[in-house]
Amino acid sequence: MNKRKVIKLLLVIVWMGLIFMFSNENGRESTKTSDTFLYKIVEVITSEKLTKEDKIELTNKYMFIVRKCAHFFLYFALAILVFIYLKEYIDISPSIIIYTIIFIIIYASSDEIHQLFISNRSGSIKDVLIDTSGGVTSILISYFICKLKMKK
């Protein structure tokens, strides 16, 4: 395997590890990570305009959507990395889309099953669907970009 293929494979593995790391946080740690991230965004956007209590309320109000967007983004990026890696072995064709989507569904499902064994966490079919939709979105974008480049 040449150096380029190894690097692409390592990127996939590192990103999978990142997802696993987030998934491995217990419920309290996961909530704290999300809260801290969103609170910092709220602070930057609102600056001095809101009190600390108002910022916390705003953080709580948008927490659900931010967490679901994180699911979407993590698998959006994973699908791109898998697609780039598979391009080394498979011609740009619908089969590369299918293989990538199957990979994303399996990894997202295993991630949710893993969460069943983590304190204060639960697995969710909805999250698998959100993860898969992130992957499908990015893989379709990647596929069409590659097709356009091939026509030039």
pLDDT of 132 > 90? The answer is yes
Contact indicator for 126, 113 with CB cutoff of 8 Å: no
- Model pLDDT, residue 108: 97
Residue range 43-70, pLDDT digits in tens: 777 767 778 788 788 888 888 888 899 9
Residue range 100-130, pLDDT digits in tens: 999 999 999 999 999 999 888 888 999 999 9
- How many angstroms separate the CA atoms of 122 and 31, rounded? 13
- How many angstroms separate the CA atoms of 85 and 150, rounded? 18
pLDDT category, 84, cuts 50, 70, 90? very high
pLDDT of 85 > 90? The answer is yes
- How many angstroms separate the CA atoms of 28 and 15, rounded? 23
